[in-house]
Amino acid sequence: MDKLTENRQAIEEIDKKMAELFVKRMACSGNIAQYKTANGIPILDQGREKELIEKNGEYISDDVIKPYYMDFFKTVLDISKQYQKDLTERNINEDKSH
């Protein structure tokens, strides 16, 4: 097997694991949305978001790839906030229809 094929297969395995972790992360994010809705807490918590960005930045020691990871992580946070917002709005609309 050549190096290109070998690395592509490794990436496919990593992508599969990342998809599984993404599903788990979004499930937790959904649980957080439910908690926030039930307790009147806004979706956006800038302090917590800043804390997460700083903490996750520490996981990457390679200064070359770190900015790419930070972009990736910030995108994950944006997706999570949008998901929470969508769930919250869906719950509000369902409550209004009952």
Q: Can you spell out the DSSP letters for 33-96? A: HHHHHHTT--S--HHHHHHHHHHHHTT---TTTHHHHHHHHHHHHHHHHHHHHHHHHHHHHHHH
CA distances in angstroms from 76 to 29, 52, 59, 80, 87, listed in the order given: 11, 11, 16, 6, 16
SS3 15: helix
Place of tokens 């804390």: 51
Q: Which domain holds residue 47?
A: 3-97
pLDDT tens per residue, range 65-97: 999 999 999 999 999 999 999 999 887 666 666
pTM score, whole prediction? 0.87
Our count of domains for the chain comes to 1
CA 18 to CA 15: how far, in whole Å?
5
Kindly report the average pLDDT of the chain as a whole number.
93
> In this structure, what CATH number is given to the domain that contains residue 11?
1.20.59.10
Place of tokens 């997706």: 79
Mean pLDDT in residue range 11-35: 97
